[in-house]
Structures are given as structure tokens and as C-alpha cells.
A and B are shown apart, each in its own frame.
Chain A
Amino acid sequence: MIKEKNNLNPTENQTPAEIVKRAKKSSDFKEIQKNVSGVQIFILYFTSLIDHKTMEHVFLPYINECEKKTGQAFDINQFKNSLPLEDIIRTKEATEIEEKIHQGYVLIQFENNLDDFLLVNVNNLSKGIRESNETENEFNVIGPKLGFVESLDTNILLLRTKVKSPLLTTEEIVMGTLSKTRVMIVYLDGITNEQHIENVKKRLSEIDFDIIFDTSALVQLIKGNSYTPFPLYFSSERLDRISYSLTSGQVVIFSDGSPYAVSGPTTIFDFFLSSEDYYYNWIIGSFFRFTRILAIIFSIFSSAIYVAVMTFHYEVVPADLLGPLIESRANVPFPPLLEVLFLEMTIELLREAGARLPTKVGQTLGIVGGIVIGQAAVMAALTSNILLIIVALAALASFTTPAIVMSNTIRILRFPFIIMSSFLGGLGIMIGFAVLLCHLFKLKSFDTPYMVPLHPFRSNSLADSIIRSPYDKLNKRPDFLRPKDKIKYSPKESNKKKEDINDE
């Protein structure tokens, strides 16, 4: 059902005079009247949006000077050209006027020519925006700590200092009926496939929304398939990570007021790569990445396997191991499903409470929650020791994912598996796995399959997925992004032959 657009929208088809009239209702809208060369001019602006320094030291003194000169006849063009400020627009458009005065432009109206307006940029948009741009949520041990901030211009500046290529192209669109947020599409012209760029632009232009709070909210609006717990677009606050996806041929979306940039089309593997993998030697990097993927598999399946084994298949546990398992569960009065759900929910509570609390209190909470509650639950025979180990390890494992959006998905995925395993045991887990695989096969991010290079299988794109190959093997852009220039850089073939023993 498509709702009819409200025809009585007050901001449509209005004259500049009406705009000024409406703006005057706000208490922070000011009007100054001056007389320049015998012409009365009105200086109108939102005092909360402008830079008072520029206003007081440059703009007003200049106007005062003009007031003193009474000899010449007034001419708008000359007035415009001689203003000592860089961004001056002469316009008759009502919509442009309305847009600009809300961005901190000063509107100048002339008594002798009521249709013509000058807009002078004296805004100060960095006002009230945090200075520090250290990454806080996606932490790395080594590597740059630079992250994005809430100001769009700062973010683009950061990106341009990292990628000083003439190919870096930005396109701006304004979105949000109330917020009028500037959204920027960034790509490498001549490398990124145009289909992706067109796709992003098309999907963004289709959005009708009131306030764009964050890029991650924007992403949910452009999602093709909203019935999935998986994030279909990669969002990061790290400058190096976003520059990397940009250079591999993805499109990046920034929006004003959000420290997160979103890149797409993404594949599921993008969420498991940390920029740190590239700062270590490739052997160590690959090992870490492999550990991470194992951790995710463990995190999804461990509690479900516990439930399955405890409920149906205790035969698969060897006798020596079964002893301790039975002993730890001997006093627990619940079926395994309830026991697991109870502990999983406890961990979820801890995590949620930890995320809401200030950092310093959060640490205390971790100790109280983790040690005290866990120990007490075992002592009270509500859960078994072994389950406590499994659930805590699984929770730990789920935090190894570098992208927080993916780690949330993994935590949620465990519950269907636990429930399936309590119904059908191991078969339930496999059925859940088959359905999950099918779901993943169906997903698409900007019309690119989500599971690539695993499905459709691309052996040449595996170099940077489960393992992180050495840099001289990573010189190609991934095929599934269909970049127009496939080669990133060409490593020189080393002339050195393989050394034999004591080869001189």
C-alpha cells in the first residue's frame, strides 16, 4: 500500500517572503537592518547556526564600511563581488533559500529588488562536534587508531588524506524530510563497477524517511531483504578498514552526523576480516583469522550440541568423559534445554547491561556477573559446571568477530539451534544448519551474492577469505565486485632463485 503524499505540505510552493515569515516565528532567527548606498538591506539569519567570529569580525564591519560610503549607486553584483567571504550565492529560488538559511547562511534582502537575494555562508557546522577521533568500538592492537567522527566534512577529509587519488569521487544527496541530512556516496571512479554505483544511488533515492539518525539506520532502509538477522552491508568507524573496502571496489556511504561509514556490496567474509590481519605477517594474520572463524562455528553450535548430547545422544560421549558430565549434572533439576536457556539469558543480560553502563562500572559488572553469578548458579545446582564453561566460552568466542553487527547476529543464531536440538537432537542441528545455509545462499547485498566466494564458488577469490595470503598474492581486486580495473598493484617478481645449501 502506497500512501499518498500529503499535498498540504507547507514547505512546498512558497514565496521567499513566506519563508522569512515562518522563520521569524523562531526566537533564534534575527534580523538586522542596514542602509547601504541609500538602499535598505535586511540581514536575516539563524543566530544559532552561524559563526559569530566571522559575523562580527568580517561581515558586519564590511557592511558598516559600506554604510559610510554614500556616494556610489548601489549595485548587487558589485556588492556580491566585493564581499570578503568565499561562498556567496545570488538566487531567486525559494527552496534554495530555505535550505541554505538552515545550514547557517545569511540571507540578504534588498529593498529595491525584492526578488533577488544573496546568501552568504558564515556557518559553523563543526560547532558541538567531538574533537577526538580515536576508534573506540573497533579496537586494534597495532595499526592506526584513526576513526570517523560525526562531521561529514571531517570524514571526507580523513578519507582524502588516506586515499590521495584523483579517482576518489564523492556524490552528495540530501535525505530526510525533516533532517535534510547530507549523505555522501564515495567510490573510485573507473574502478568501482558503475552498476553498483547506480544501484546505490537508485536505492538511496527511493528512500522516504524523516530523520537520518545514523548510517546504520540508513542501511536498514536500503536493505533488499529485511527478513534476515545478517547485516547485508558492512559498517565501520575505522578509516583504514573503509579505505580498504573502497580500494577493493566497493561503494561507501557516509552520512552527516554519523561516525560510521557503510560499504557495499559485501560478502559474509567481510565481517570476519579485521584490519589488523593485514598489519601482521601473513602467517600470523591467517592464523588469527582462522581462529576467529573457528570461534564463530564453536559459538553457534556448542550449546546446541550440549543440549543434543545431554538429551538424546549420551552414547556418543566416551565412558571416561561421561563420568564427570553426569557428576556435574547430577543435582540439576532441569532438562538440559532450560539449563542452557537460563545460562544463555544470563550472559545476554550481562552483555546488555555492560553495554548500557559507563565503561568503569561495566568492568565491575563483568566481575560480579561472570564470577559471582556463575559460581553461585553452579553451587545452587541450577546449572552444571561443564555447561558454564561451554556457555562462557561461546560468549567469549562470539566477541572475536571484528564487526559488532555480525557478533550480535551470531549470538541470536544460537537460540534457534538450541531449540531445534532440544526437539530433534543432532538431526535438529543439521536441519537448522541446512536452513541457515539455504538462507545464506539466498541473501544478496546490492544484487551480489552474499556467500561469495563460497557460493557461487570462486576459487580465485579465496586468497583473502579464510586465510590471509601474502601481499604479493593480494594484488587483485575480488572478481565478484566486477571492478573495471582488476589489478591493485603489481608486485615485482623477485629475481632471487631459491637458495640451495650455502649457495654463493
Chain B
Amino acid sequence: MNVKVEKQFQVSAFFTFFLIHSSQTGVGILNFQSQVIKHAEQDAWISLIITWAATHIILYIIFKLLGGGTNDLVAVHQYCFGKAIGSIMSVMALVYFWLASLTVLRAYIEVIQIWVYPSIKTWQLCIVFLLTFYYIISSGFRSLTGFSFWGVILPAFLFFLIYFPLMHANYIYLLPAFSHSLSELFFSSKGYALLFLGFEWILMYYPFLKSSNNRDISKWAYLGNIYTLIVYLIITLISFLYFNQEVLQHLPWPTLMMVKIVKFSFLERFEYVFIFIWLLVIISPICISLWACTRIVKRTFSIPPKATLLFLLIAEMIVSVYLQEFKSVDYLVNFTSNVGIGFVYVYLPLLLIIKWIKNHFMKNRLNKI
């Protein structure tokens, strides 16, 4: 059942690090604080570590799913459920992947409309973005890998900006530490889950990773996940130190608010620059997920990927234009986050159990014959 991908389309295992990390970071990083501070308050950073640990386990499960003859999601589905039901399950996964891409795109468009160009119409931005994304995705997985690599390296200099909020940091805000119950911590970790979603696309691009053994890829994947943890930990701590909890609960975009105070002798309002550079960061989650969609369609129905891509992009545009209000975008984000949590943290472990049962039966049947 293994899919064979030609060597010229593959990328080396080392890039798994960047693919995992870059598909996790999207627009969520700009406004996650109000979600996570509700329950665990100043202890939310512990919730972050809990979410990271859960993600690590899911990554382990994913590599278990991808081993043993089934090296992508479509193959796993067909193995577990047979051709017909397997295809239906793959289409469900496609819908979720598409939703994830749509959410990042719509949220970024909203950030642009609110922060930079208040008068620009959604459809205008949509057309520009979709043309760009069509060009990027249609140039193949290797180019996407390039974006995920440079989308991590180039914006890395933005880290130096933490100097500015740190100047106003108030260390008292983190105290008292460890003062929340487990259930509160878990509720906050659910808020963090959206930030970690995205790594599951490895289910589709796994055959495109060049490696002698499975270990090599999983090692880089775990490291990528750890890097994501570090990035989020820094941003969480900085925003907790900079804002007090009351403010943070009602602030729509705390990360951008922190960037706003950055000032140079030749440059003010640094959040403009930040938002524009953020385009490089969101290219990976949007494009890799859409690429994974086209891959699912190609694997299950053998429809040419470019046609699928065009269809999916136009669908994204229609839905984006339809979601006009701030509230509906918020609803979309919450909906996707719930679907994603369901898919990743509930469905994937179940799938592994089903695979094990199936393996067991297959073995028994073989023994009987």
C-alpha cells in the first residue's frame, strides 16, 4: 500500500523540523492570550506544556500509523475501512484540512483589514492572495518546503523585538505560581490546542520526506514540536509579564499590541512591518494544508491536482467573502479549532486502535489459511 514518490520530488528528513514548526504557527499566535488566560490565569504556561506533551504523543501515534506498509492517511483509511468507507473518511479529513487553511486565510485578512487597510474589501484581498497561493502551491512540495524553511528563518529576527516589552515587564504578574487546579489547566490547554494544530498534515506529506529510516524523520518532527513550544512559551511569558490579566482577557490582539510599542529613530508603528512579514509565516499553514487536500483528492479519485486546487481556492474565496462580520470569523476559528481537536486528539488515536485490531485480525486470518 506504500506510496512511492520519485526522488526528485522528495526533501531531506531535516526539513521535517521546519515543516512541522511552520505549519503550526499561523495567525493564532497573534491573539491566543485571551483564550488561554480565562481559566488558568497566570499559570497558563503550564497548560502550554500540557498541550505540547499531548501533541508529542499524537505525533508518536502518527508515526505508528504511518509505519508498516501504510505511509499516508489515504492508505491508512483504505487499510482500516476498505475502499469505499476509507474514501469517505479521507474526504472528511480533506474538509478539515480545507477548513484549517480557510481559517488562517480569513483570520489574516481580518488582521489586515483591522490593523492596516480599514477600507479594503475582503474580495479584493482574496483575489490577490488566491492568485499568489495558486502560484505557490502549483509549484510543488519542494517549493513549499522552501517556504516553510525561509518562513521560519527570515521572520526569526522578530524575536529581537521582545526587548521592547521586556523593558516594561512586571515580574509580579506571574505570581502566585502553581495556584490552579488541574481542570482549570486542562481548559486552558484546550485554548492552546489550536496553536499546535497543523502538524497532522505530515499524514499526507510523509512519503515526500527522504530518509533511510523512520527514526530520522520522527526525531526532527519532535524537535520541531519542541521549537514550537519554545516560541509559544516565550510569547506567553512576555505577554503575561507585559500586560496585567484584566487587560489581557479583553485585548483582541495582545501580540500586535506589544509590537506597537517598538520604536526606532527611522521607523515607528512597527506592527505594520510585523504584519507584512507575517505573510511569510502564514504561507506555510495555508499552502501545505491545501496541498495536502489536493494530494488526498489525487490519491482517492485520481483527479488532477491543479483542478482541485482551483476549486478549493475559489471555495475559500466565496466563504471568506461570505463571512463578513467579526463575530462570524470568531465563530469560524472556534469551529475549526473544535473540529481540529476532535480530528487530532480523538480521531487519530482511535484510528491507531482500529489499525491494531485490523492488524490482529489479518494475522489471525493468515494463520488460519
Q: A interface vs B, CB < 8 Å?
A: 312-313, 315-318, 321, 424-427, 429-431, 433-435, 437-438, 441-442, 451, 454-457
Residue contact A455 to B272, C-beta cutoff 8 Å: no
Chain B: which residue is nearest A321 at the CB level? B266
Asked if B178 lies at the interface with its beta carbon under 8 angstroms from chain A, I say no
* Binding stretch for chain A, among B77-85, B131-139, B318-326: B131-139
Q: Fill in one digit per residue for B125-166: 1 if any A CB lies within 8 Å of its CB, else 0.
A: 000110010011001101101110110000000000000000
- When distances are taken between beta carbons in the complex, the residues of chain A under 8 Å from B267 are 316-318
- When distances are taken between beta carbons in the complex, the residues of chain B under 8 Å from A437 are 146-147, 150
Residue contact A434 to B279, C-beta cutoff 8 Å: yes
Q: Which of A317, A427, A454 contacts B116 (CB 8 A)?
A: A427
Residue contact B268 to A425, C-beta cutoff 8 Å: no
Q: Fill in one digit per residue for B242-280: 1 if any A CB lies within 8 Å of its CB, else 0.
A: 000000000000000000000111111110110011011
Complex A-B, nearest 3 residue pairs according to Cβ-Cβ distance, in ascending order: A455-B146, A441-B143, A441-B146
Residue contact A426 to B12, C-beta cutoff 8 Å: no
- When distances are taken between beta carbons in the complex, the residues of chain A under 8 Å from B202 are none
Residue contact A456 to B12, C-beta cutoff 8 Å: yes
Asked if B112 lies at the interface with its beta carbon under 8 angstroms from chain A, I say yes
| Interface core residue of A316, A321, A425 (most chain B CB under 10 Å) | A316
Asked if B311 lies at the interface with its beta carbon under 8 angstroms from chain A, I say no
Residue contact B276 to A438, C-beta cutoff 8 Å: no
- Known contacts: A318-B266, A441-B143, A455-B150. The answer to whether A434 contacts B128 by CB under 8 A is no
- When distances are taken between beta carbons in the complex, the residues of chain B under 8 Å from A321 are 266
Residue contact A429 to B132, C-beta cutoff 8 Å: no
Chain A: which residue is nearest B129 at the CB level? A431
- When distances are taken between beta carbons in the complex, the residues of chain B under 8 Å from A438 are 135-136, 139, 143, 146-147
Residue contact B128 to A457, C-beta cutoff 8 Å: no
Residue contact A441 to B139, C-beta cutoff 8 Å: yes
| Interface core residue of A313, A315, A435, A438 (most chain B CB under 10 Å) | A438
Q: How many residues of B contact A (CB 8 A)?
A: 36
Residue contact B117 to A316, C-beta cutoff 8 Å: no
Residue contact A316 to B268, C-beta cutoff 8 Å: yes
Q: In whole Å, how far is A24's beta carbon from the nearest beta carbon of chain B?
A: 56
Residue contact B276 to A427, C-beta cutoff 8 Å: yes
- Known contacts: A318-B267, A435-B132. The answer to whether A430 contacts B276 by CB under 8 A is yes
Q: In whole Å, how far is B107's beta carbon from the nearest beta carbon of chain A?
A: 15
Chain B: which residue is nearest A420 at the CB level? B128
How long is the Cα–Cα vector from A433 to B154 in the complex, in angstroms?
Answer: 12
Residue contact B149 to A457, C-beta cutoff 8 Å: yes
Residue contact A455 to B266, C-beta cutoff 8 Å: no
Q: List 27 A-B contacts (CB under 8 A).
A: A312-B116, A312-B117, A313-B272, A316-B272, A316-B273, A318-B263, A318-B265, A318-B266, A318-B267, A318-B268, A321-B266, A426-B276, A427-B117, A427-B276, A430-B279, A434-B279, A434-B283, A437-B146, A438-B143, A438-B146, A438-B147, A441-B139, A455-B149, A455-B150, A456-B12, A456-B142, A457-B15
Total A-B contacts with CB atoms under 8 angstroms apart: 88
- When distances are taken between beta carbons in the complex, the residues of chain A under 8 Å from B112 are 427
Chain A: which residue is nearest B124 at the CB level? A424
How long is the Cα–Cα vector from A455 to B139 in the complex, in angstroms?
Answer: 14
Asked if B46 lies at the interface with its beta carbon under 8 angstroms from chain A, I say no
Q: In whole Å, how far is B208's beta carbon from the nearest beta carbon of chain A?
A: 13
Asked if B11 lies at the interface with its beta carbon under 8 angstroms from chain A, I say yes
SS of B interface (majority): helix
Chain B: which residue is nearest A431 at the CB level? B132
Q: B interface vs A, CB < 8 Å?
A: 11-12, 14-15, 112, 116-117, 128-129, 132, 135-136, 139-140, 142-143, 145-147, 149-150, 263-270, 272-273, 276-277, 279-280, 283
How long is the Cα–Cα vector from A451 to B146 in the complex, in angstroms?
Answer: 10
Q: In whole Å, how far is B85's beta carbon from the nearest beta carbon of chain A?
A: 38
Residue contact A431 to B279, C-beta cutoff 8 Å: yes
| Interface core residue of A425, A426, A429, A434 (most chain B CB under 10 Å) | A434
- Known contacts: A313-B272, A434-B132. The answer to whether A442 contacts B139 by CB under 8 A is yes
How long is the Cα–Cα vector from A503 to B277 in the complex, in angstroms?
Answer: 52
Q: Which of B142, B269, B277 contacts A315 (CB 8 A)?
A: B269
Residue contact B268 to A434, C-beta cutoff 8 Å: no
- When distances are taken between beta carbons in the complex, the residues of chain B under 8 Å from A454 are 150
Q: In whole Å, how far is B129's beta carbon from the nearest beta carbon of chain A?
A: 8
Q: In whole Å, how far is A129's beta carbon from the nearest beta carbon of chain B?
A: 44
How long is the Cα–Cα vector from A438 to B150 in the complex, in angstroms?
Answer: 11
How long is the Cα–Cα vector from A402 to B268 in the complex, in angstroms?
Answer: 36
- When distances are taken between beta carbons in the complex, the residues of chain B under 8 Å from A442 are 139-140, 143
How long is the Cα–Cα vector from A429 to B128 in the complex, in angstroms?
Answer: 12
- When distances are taken between beta carbons in the complex, the residues of chain B under 8 Å from A429 are 276
How long is the Cα–Cα vector from A429 to B132 in the complex, in angstroms?
Answer: 12
Q: In whole Å, how far is A103's beta carbon from the nearest beta carbon of chain B?
A: 43
- When distances are taken between beta carbons in the complex, the residues of chain A under 8 Å from B140 are 442
How long is the Cα–Cα vector from A312 to B118 in the complex, in angstroms?
Answer: 11
Q: Which of B11, B117, B135 contacts A456 (CB 8 A)?
A: B11
- A317-B267, A430-B276, A434-B147 given. 7 additional CB < 8 A pairs? A424-B128, A427-B116, A429-B276, A431-B129, A431-B132, A434-B136, A455-B146
- When distances are taken between beta carbons in the complex, the residues of chain B under 8 Å from A457 are 14-15, 149
Q: In whole Å, how far is B112's beta carbon from the nearest beta carbon of chain A?
A: 7
Q: Which of A312, A427, A456 contacts B279 (CB 8 A)?
A: A427
Q: In whole Å, how far is B270's beta carbon from the nearest beta carbon of chain A?
A: 8
Q: In whole Å, how far is B184's beta carbon from the nearest beta carbon of chain A?
A: 40
Q: In whole Å, how far is A457's beta carbon from the nearest beta carbon of chain B?
A: 6
How long is the Cα–Cα vector from A442 to B129 in the complex, in angstroms?
Answer: 19
Q: In whole Å, how far is B134's beta carbon from the nearest beta carbon of chain A?
A: 11
Q: In whole Å, how far is B171's beta carbon from the nearest beta carbon of chain A?
A: 31
How long is the Cα–Cα vector from A433 to B276 in the complex, in angstroms?
Answer: 11
- When distances are taken between beta carbons in the complex, the residues of chain A under 8 Å from B135 are 435, 438
Q: In whole Å, how far is B263's beta carbon from the nearest beta carbon of chain A?
A: 8
How long is the Cα–Cα vector from A315 to B268 in the complex, in angstroms?
Answer: 7
- When distances are taken between beta carbons in the complex, the residues of chain A under 8 Å from B268 are 315-318
Residue contact A434 to B280, C-beta cutoff 8 Å: yes
